[in-house]
Every structure is written in structure tokens, then in C-alpha cells.
Amino acid sequence: MATTNTASAPADEPMISVEGLNKWYGDFHVLRDIDLTVAKGERIVICGPSGSGKSTLIRCLNHLEEHQQGRIVVDGVTMTQDVKRIEQIRRNVGMVFQHFNLFPHLSVLDNCCISQTWVQKKPRAEAEKTAMEFLERVRIADQAHKYPGQLSGGQQQRVAIARALCMRPEVMLFDEPTSALDPEMIKEVLDVMVELARDGMTMLCVTHEMGFAKTVADRVIFMDQGQIIEQAPPETFFNHPQSDRTQMFLSQILGH
Amino acid sequence: MLRSSSSERGPLWRDPAVRALVIQALLLLGLAALIVMLVTNTLANLEARGITTGLGFLQERAGFSIPQTLIAYSGDSTYGRTFVVGLLNTLLVSGLGIVAATVIGFAVGIARLSSNWLLARLAAAYVEIFRNIPLLVQILFWYFAVLQALPSPRQSLSLFEALFLNVRGLMMPAPVPQPGFDATLWALALAVAAVVGLSLYARRLQARTGRALPVYRLGALILIGLPLAVFLVTGRPLAWDVPALAGFNFKGGVTIIPELMALWLALSIYTASFIAEIVRSGIQSVPSGQVEAARAISLPGNITLRKIVIPQAMRVIVPQLTSQYLNLIKNSSLATAIGYPDLVAVFAGTTLNQTGQAIEIIAMTMAVYLLISLVVSALMNLYNARTLMKER
Amino acid sequence: MAEMATRIEMIEARRPPDLRRGVLGWLRANLFDGPRNSVITLCVLAVLGWGLWPLVQWALIDADWLGSTREACSGEGACWVFISARFETIVYGFYPEAARWRVDTVFMMLGLLIAWLAIPRLPAKRWVGLFALVGFPVVAYVLLLGGHFGLMAVPTREWGGLMLTLTVAVVGIVGSLPLGVVLALGRRSRMPLVRGVCVVFIEFWRGVPLITVLFMASVMLPLFVPNEVEFDKLLRALIGIMFFWSAYMAEVVRGGLQAIPKGQEEAAKALGMGYWRRMGLIVLPQALKLVIPGIVNTFIALFKDTSLVLIIGLFDLLAIIRSGLTDSNWLGFATEGYVFAALMFWVFCFSMSRYSQYIERRLHTGHRN
């Protein structure tokens, strides 16, 4: 298993551990008794029908959603209500959204520099250098001075990936990163994600791209009705699904 | 008007180009006829009433006094000066109103989004009550029901024996600069320059080293501290002319006449209810994904507000805000209902009644408001062009 | 590797463990959520107690309601006798008592028409709307002004109160809406002269205050027409109001026209429709439906601004109340008078704004589906 180059927690300690996580929206029980451990460098794909709680789960990991019961530890830091601690966790966790959520009033370069400037307090030149380095990696450095609105969906999503990487996170969360894209743009984003996986980034990825799951995932997790139904390496998961629900889901998603 | 396939041409009256020409020609003719008719009628009517046209009346003696003038004015001044006095009074109440309405409006708009249920309800009630009552009713209410019900000067409500509120208005101490006060003014100017310099330096420092200075706190310290220090060191060279009761009225100090107070109160409270809605919808127009993305890259709350939410909300807020400012300026003309001497009251009112120069006076009054509208719209377009979101 | 188990039994949904339920839970979540919110709540309560309670006491608890003369006022709270004693005047102005049934009839018709148009379920909106715009004004004109069909003539100087306010408002909207539609179409015309004239017309009225328009209508209009033509004061004001609000209406309608996709007009063109059919049958119906909230909002603004006619000496609702304040038998009731006027206007405007919000929500859901 590959390791990240900037390890902060001991290698044997899990990158993320979730115990007994429960969450409600009002009276609706969205996440039910979730237990999950993610090792350093592990690549996990989470799938499941819509409304199964998969997005909510990864949004809990950087406290975009608040949970009511259970324990979340990210890179050795336990999640509490403390704002400073939440910010500390978020510095280690990058996130890519379905709808990119780039800042439309800032240029691509500024999108990548803003957190380096205000969180890491880096000099402008250094921030720009880091930004260009990652924009280079997602192959969009030539668009650095454009505004998000001037880019295609695929390009915007690659910028969003670069923006998250600029904080040099230990973990990357992907929340359906290709669902809002036109078919011809999906590949350019997936290519970047595959490369990232090859470099040993710890990744949790909510997606329906089963091809991606087969190529890079160490483990595929299937969720339904707010609970983890089944988890297995892709080989086992796709060829010998255990539960009926998983089989039905796979036949629906791969069937057509 | 050439067509590529002239053989296919239908009857002339079905050709759109010909039709367009005919319609426009008819419109032009109609307009011309209307104008000729209006002008002949007007000239005939004016002659019948013995009114001479022209702007000559502006040099004539006005002969009436105005209760509030920002420049020297007396009954011997000309109608031209009346016009300027009225215009300045309009601008005064508009300026005061814009400042107050903005402050109240932003406060109420933000309060409407508060997580505190009671505060949010209170703000909503404010908006629903005041924007649904005609401004004129509000002006009359403040003037006749509140300010006219205040006690006479002898029974004034007073605060620290310096501020006096009575039926004649609000009397406040007036600052009287003594010799040596100039130094404080210079210090203030210097402080402003220093703050500008500081913010430029802070930006450069941050770009070079990444260190962010607490610009707001330092700036406030300089802005207040420096002039205050100079003021104290030079021996506080400022006296106050405190209003004092003399006979049946107050002497000295500055008086805010009740007409101005009522108009100011009503204009700010009324306009603020609209501004509050604009602010609320502007803030809500920023998609929640923007804040989530900012949080995900661990930007702290105040930076998220300053760098992500406010710039995007302002693009929505500013154009609508400007049109509210224009409305406020136009609405200040309701002054005439309570006798605040604004442009409409003294010029389109008193001057018109005395001279009968209806056309010139109404045209001049309207021109002033049109000019303000045009200038503000032009500035607005400039702003829009500058902040235009770049799109594909 | 971590757990690889498959879950066989599904976990049943449970109730949240939260305390955010019940009255106490709600209070805690919404009012006392942390020290900052608690302080805010207490401050708001203090302001309400200090400001609102005396108001309630004055307006309701200590108020005098019964009687017909000044002697009925105890002077402790509000004296609503001031209003009830002159309620007839506030509604009808100086309209002759014998002919007030005519005003009532028109009020009733107006109420029915508005209700019919406002309730989405009722059918034949187009015909009722057409009647409201064309037929009703004629009927109302004949009934209110009289002088025909054996009805006693009532000159407009005897009109006043709520009746005049509603007349000005209804004429304003009935006149300004069609004119606004024409101006909006003109502003989008491809003929430069037509477009230019419309732009200048619209921007002129939008750039000046209504007061100056009313002044212009009352002092300049008589100069524009031949000397022998008698111009009614109310009519002059109505013309000014119509022109003024048509400009605002035009901008609202233009917004709707811009929101209609170009494909709609192209499709209509492809069906061989001419300009007026394309506009009348395809584009305008959609655009107008889209801007109903905007039209209602403009109407609210118009309704509030009808009060300005008091400045040129017409006796609308506000002016009637104000004139009552100078009645030597009833001096010193300014607060009651203006509060009542405010309440009357508020009831009308608030219900209209609620209606416009309701329509807006309906439109939004309509689009989503």
C-alpha cells in the first residue's frame, strides 16, 4: 500500500475512524450506526441509491454536517464542536463538490490562493507558485487568469480539485464529482482523480462511476437507507455481491 | 430596402420594411402634430392670462422667507437663490435619509436572517409594517402626531441640559472652533492619510511575507487616537455654543426644525424597510455551496464573510440599493406636505404661486430630478460594467 | 484490511435523541441557543415590553370605543370615537347620502371582480379580466358620476374618502397596465423611432417624483388645451397618475417579455403568425402571467401613492381624516387619525403583498414541475 509523503500520524494508525455514527434531519434518521475505518493511503468508493446517506456521510467527515451520536477521528484529531479543532481537521481534508462551488468572483488563480493566503498566511509569490504547481497537475495552468464562469464544467471541476490540493491535505473527499458533467468531460476529471490515487492520496469518493471503482478502489462500500450494507474489494464486490440490495443496485446501474 | 428576389415581392403594404417606415412616419407626424397643438394652445393661454415666458423671473426679488437655509438667504434674495436654497435642502434631507436608511436597512436585513427566532420575527414585522403604510401617512404621523405633540420650549425635554427637544425642534450645542483648532483638523487629515498608507502597506506586507496586520483595529486607533491626542495637547481649543432658554424660545446652538426631523425619520424608516428586503435577498442569493466550499478549505468565518459572501451579495444588493436611494431622493419631495422647504415646496410651490411661471418652474424642478437620476444611473452602469461577472 | 462483513439485518430508523422537541426544546433551539442568542432574546423582549405594551394599552385597553361626541373620550387611551363619529365621511366623502347605494354597488362589483381574478381555481379569467378592464370602468363611471339614465349627477368635487382613494387606484391600474404593455412592446420594437419614443417616455416618468407630475397635471395641463375646454381636477390628477405608473408598469412587463425564451416567438413565426398574433396569443399571455407578482407590487406602490392627491387638494381617505383633525370640535386627535389612516392603507397593502407572494410561490412550483 502506498504511503503519503507527509505523514503526520503513525503509519499503523487509521487516517479516519468513525464509530457508531448516527445523524438525523429533524425526525428522519439519515445515518444509522455507521462504523468505518480508513487506512492511510486507502482509496474507497462509496455507492448506493440516491438518498442513501452517502453524501451526508462524507460531509460529516469535515463537519459540513453536524452529527448527533458517535465519534469521528480524522488524522488523530477527534471531532468536537470546537471551531479551532474543526478548522484543524478541515485543513487536512480536501473536498470536491458535485457542483464545483468555485468562487465566481475570483480568478482561477485566486480561487487556489485564497486559503493559502488567509489560513496558511503564505506570501503571495509562494501561494501562487503552489497554485500553479497544482493547476499544472490538473492540466489547466494556461487558464489561471480566467474566471470560473469562463471555463467548461470539466475544467471547473479540475480547478476545484487543484484548489483543494493547494492546502496539501492528507485526505480528499469527492462528493459525486462527475454527476453534474457532460459525458465528454467526465473522463478528463476521472483521469486527474486516477493520477491522484496513483500518487497515494487517501481518497473517499462518492460516485457512480463503476469503471473508476474497478480501476483504483481498494474497497467499495455500498450504502442504503443510511447504513453500510456491504463493503468489499472491487473484485469481490462486483463479481460476488452478497446482499440482495447490492445485487439489485448493481444490476440497475450496470444493466443498461 | 432591396430584396434579393424582387420577383417574389408581394404587395407593397405587406412588406415589413415598408410597413416599418410607414408606421414610424405616422408616429413622427403624430408627435409633431401633438407638439404643435400643445405649443399653440399654451402660447394662446399664456397670452390670455398675460404671463410672459422666459427665465427672467429668476432675477426678481422673492420676498418670502424660508425657515431653513444652508446658504445666506433673506426675503430680498432672488427667485434664483430660492431655487438653490430649495435644492440644497432637498439634498440635505436626502443625504441624511440615505445614511440613516442604509444603517437601519442593513441592520434589519441582517436581523431577519438571525438564528434567533424572536429577532428575526421582529425584523420581519418591521418590514411588513413600514413598507405597507404610505410614506405620506408616515410623514404626517411623525409631524402632526408626534413632533407637534411635544411640549413648548419652556417645558422642553432635555438631555444633560445640552440637548433640548420641544415643539420647535431639536436644539443641540454647536461646536465653535477656537484659535489652534486647525491643528486637530490637520491631525485628522494626517490620520486619514496614514490609514490609507497603512492599508497599502499591509497589503504589500501580506503579499511579501504572508503576515496579515489587524488593519481595521490599527486604522481605528490611528483615526481616533491621533486627532484626539493633538486636540488634548493643544489644550482642547473647541467651545460649545449651548442652546439656552431666552424668553419663549431657545437661543444659540443648532436647531433641527421639526419638519426636517419628521421627514428624515419617515424617509429613513420607510426606505429602510425596502433596503432590509434587498439586503436579505442579496445575502440569500449567495448559494450555500459557496460557504460550504469556503469551510471545506478551512477559511475562518470572518474571512468567508469578507471575501466570499459580501462581495457576491453586494453585486445583487448595490443596483437595487441605488434605485432605493433614487426613490428616497424623489420621495423627499413629499416635504411639501408638512412645509419642509425643499425644492418642490419653495420653488414648485411658493415661487410658482407668486410668479405663475408654471412651465418654466415645473420644467426646472423636473430637470433637477431627471439629472440626479441620469447621473446616478450612469454611475450605476459604470459599477455594473466593472463588477460584471465574467461568463462564457 | 478493515471489516469486510455484509450486513444481513437492516437497522430500523430510530427517533433522534435530541432535546430539540417540545416547547422547552423549541425555546432552547430558537431563543436561548448559546449566551449570545440569550442576550439578544432578552434585549428584544425588553424592547417589546417597553415599546409594544404601552401601545397596546393605549390603542386597545384604555381606549374609548362608544359614543358619538367628544365627551365620550376619557383621555386615558385612544379615542376611537373620533373615527366612528365620522366613519361615513371617511368612506363616502361628501357623496350625497341618497346616492350612496351607487357607491356601494360599485364597491361590491369591484370586490367580486377582484375575488374572481385572485382565486386561481375560478374559470374564464380572460373574460372576467377583459370585463374588469373594459366593462367595469364604464359601469362604474355611469354609476358614480350619474347624470344619465335618471341618476342624479354627482360632480367629482363631492367625491372623497375611501371611495375616492379606490377610484384613483382602480383607474390608475386600469389605465396604466394597457399603456404599460404597449410601451413595453414599443421598447422592444426593432423600429428605432418607436423604440426611442418609448424609451424617452418611460425614463422621463421614472426619473421624476410623482408630486411634480401631479403639480404638472394641475397647473400645466390646463395650459395645454384650448381655453374653453373645462378640465376636471380629478381627471387631471388621473391622467398624471396613469402616465406616471404606465412607465413603471412597462418596465415590469418588459422583464416578463425578456424572460420568455426566443424559441416561443420563433415557433409562432414558424406557424405563420403575424406580429400582433404572436404577441397577443403566444408571448404576452405567458409574459403577463410571469409578472403578476410584479404587477401586484406596482399596484401596491400605486395604491400607497394615491395619498399624494391630497397635496393638490383632492379629498382622498387621508385628506378626509386630516380635514377632520382641523374640526374645532375634535382638536387633538392627530394620533388616532393617522394611526387609523395607516391601518386602513396597511390592511389593503399587506393583503395585496401576501397575495403577490402567494402567486410567486405558485409560479415557482409551476416552473419546477
Helix or strand (DSSP H, E) at C131: none
Q: Which three cell numbers stand for residue C41?
A: 432574546
Distance from CA of A82 to the nearest CA of B (A): 13
Is position B291 within any domain? Answer: yes
Would the CA dihedral through A207, A210, A212, A213 be positive or negative? positive
User: By CA distance, what is C9's nearest residue in A?
Assistant: A229
Q: What is the pLDDT of residue C7?
A: 58
Nearest-neighbour CA in chain A from B181: distance (Å)? 42
Task: Test C8 with A243 for CB contact under 8 angstroms.
Answer: yes
For position A5, what pLDDT does the model report? Answer: 41
What does the alpha-carbon distance between residue C131 and residue C137 come to, in Å, rounded to a whole number? 9
> What is the H or E stretch that residue A240 is in?
none
The reply to whether residue B132 touches residue C322, judged by beta carbons under 8 angstroms, is no
Q: What is the pLDDT of residue C62?
A: 79
Interchain CB distance below 8 Å, A232 and C4? yes
C37 at the B interface (CB within 8 A)?
Answer: yes
Residue B16 lies in a domain: no
Neighbours of B60 (CB within 10 A): 13
Q: Do A233 and C1 touch (CB under 8 A)?
A: yes
Beta-strand relationship, A43-47 and A69-74: unpaired
* Mean confidence (pLDDT) of chain B: 87
User: Which residues are bridge partners to C97 per DSSP?
Assistant: none
Contacts of A230 in chain C (CB under 8 A): 6-7
**SS3 at position C234:** helix
Residues of B in contact with A115 (CB under 8 A): 297-299
Q: Domain total for chain B?
A: 1
Among the partner residues A28, A39, A229, nearest to C7 by beta-carbon distance? A229
Task: Identify whether B149 is part of a domain.
Answer: yes
- A1 to chain C: nearest residue by CA? C1
Q: Tell me, yes or no, if C190 comes closer than 8 A to chain B by beta carbon.
A: yes
**DSSP single-letter state for residue A72:** E
Instruction: Calculate how close chain B gets to A89, using CA atoms only, in Å.
Output: 8
Domain containing B290 equals 82-158+258-387
A194 CA: distance to closest CA in chain C (Å): 21
Domain limits, chain C = 20-61, 82-95+154-362
Q: Pick from C341, C147, C83, C148: which is nearest to C156 by CA?
A: C147
Q: Which residues of A touch C11 (CB under 8 A)?
A: 32-33, 225-227
How far does the CA of residue C33 sit from the closest CA of chain A (Å)? 14
A229 touches chain C (CB under 8 A): yes
CA distances from C291 to C242, C257, C286, C364 (A): 19, 9, 9, 12
- CA B133 to CA B280: how far, in whole Å? 20
> For residue B346, what are the CA distances in angstroms to A176, B136, C341?
67, 18, 27
Q: What is the CATH number of the domain that holds B263?
A: 1.10.3720.10
> Is B42 a domain residue?
no
In a domain, B338, yes or no: yes
Taking the C-alpha atoms of residue A36 and residue B186, their distance in angstroms, rounded to an integer, is 67
Question: Chain B residue with minimal CA distance to C207?
Answer: B370
Q: ipTM for the complex?
A: 0.88
B392 assigned to some structural domain: no
The DSSP secondary structure of C11-24, one letter per residue, reads: PPP-----S--HHH
**pLDDT, position C327:** 78
B141 touches C: beta carbon within 8 Å: yes
- Mutation site, A221, A227, A235, A249, interface C, largest C CB count within 10 A: A227
Q: Are the Cβ atoms of B212 and A102 closer than 8 angstroms?
A: no
* C-beta atoms of A103 and B308 within 8 A: yes
Question: Could you tell me which of B158, B302, B292, C341 has the C-alpha nearest to residue A103?
Answer: B292
Q: Is residue B347 part of a domain?
A: yes
**Span C82-95+154-362: which CATH code?**
1.10.3720.10
SS3 C52: helix
Minimal-distance CA residue of chain C relative to B139: C338
Q: Quick check: B295 and A62 CB within 8 A? A: yes
**How far apart are the CA of B117 and the nearest CA of chain C, in angstroms?**
5
Q: Dihedral of CA C289/B324/B331/C247: which sign?
A: negative
The answer to whether residue B247 is domain-embedded is no
Rg (CA), chain C: 28
B339 torsion bin: left (phi>0), alpha (psi -120 to 50), beta (else): left
pLDDT at B5: 47
B26–C contact, CB cutoff 8 A: no
Q: Which of C5, C8, C16 sits opposite A24 (nearest CB)?
A: C16
- Three-class DSSP category at A19: strand
Per-residue pLDDT of chain A (256 residues; tens, 9 = 90+): 343 444 455 557 889 999 999 998 888 899 999 999 999 999 999 999 988 999 999 999 999 998 989 999 998 899 988 888 898 999 999 999 999 999 999 999 999 999 999 998 899 999 999 999 999 999 999 999 999 999 999 999 999 999 999 999 999 999 999 999 998 899 999 999 999 999 999 999 999 899 999 999 999 999 999 999 999 999 999 998 888 889 999 988 876 5
Q: What is the pLDDT along chain C (369 residues), one digit of tens a residue?
A: 444 555 567 788 888 776 556 777 778 777 887 788 888 889 989 988 888 888 888 888 777 777 777 777 777 778 887 777 788 888 888 888 878 888 888 888 888 988 888 887 888 888 888 888 888 888 888 888 877 777 777 787 888 888 899 989 988 988 899 999 999 999 988 888 889 999 999 999 999 999 999 988 888 888 887 777 777 888 889 999 999 999 999 999 999 998 888 888 888 888 888 888 888 888 888 888 888 888 989 999 999 999 999 888 888 888 888 888 887 777 778 888 899 899 999 999 999 899 888 888 887 765 443
Asked if B117 and C31 come within 8 Å (Cβ–Cβ), the reply is yes
User: In this complex, is the C-beta atom of B370 within 8 Å of any C-beta atom belonging to chain C?
Assistant: yes
C234 within 8 A of C158, measured Cβ to Cβ? no
Residue pLDDT, tens place only, B227-252: 899 888 888 888 888 888 877 778 87
Mutation pick from A105, A113, A134 vs chain B, by most beta carbons of B within 10 Å, is: A105
Nearest CB to A90: which of B207, B296, B308? B296
Beta strands in chain B (DSSP E): 157-159, 163-166, 169-172, 174-177, 238-241, 244-246, 249-251, 254-256
- Say which of B209, B293, B389 has its CB closest to residue A105: B389
CB contact under 8 A, A118 and B303: yes
Lowest mean pLDDT among A79-83, B150-154, B329-333, C296-300: B150-154
- pTM for the model stands at 0.87
Interface partners of chain B (CB pairs < 8 Å, 3 or more) are A, C
Chain C residues with CB under 8 Å of A15 CB are none
B159 touches chain C (CB under 8 A): no
Beta bridge partners of A34: A21
Bridge partner residues of A22 (DSSP): A69
C-beta atoms of A97 and B289 within 8 A: yes
Among A62, A104, A151, the residue with its CB nearest the CB of B296 is A62
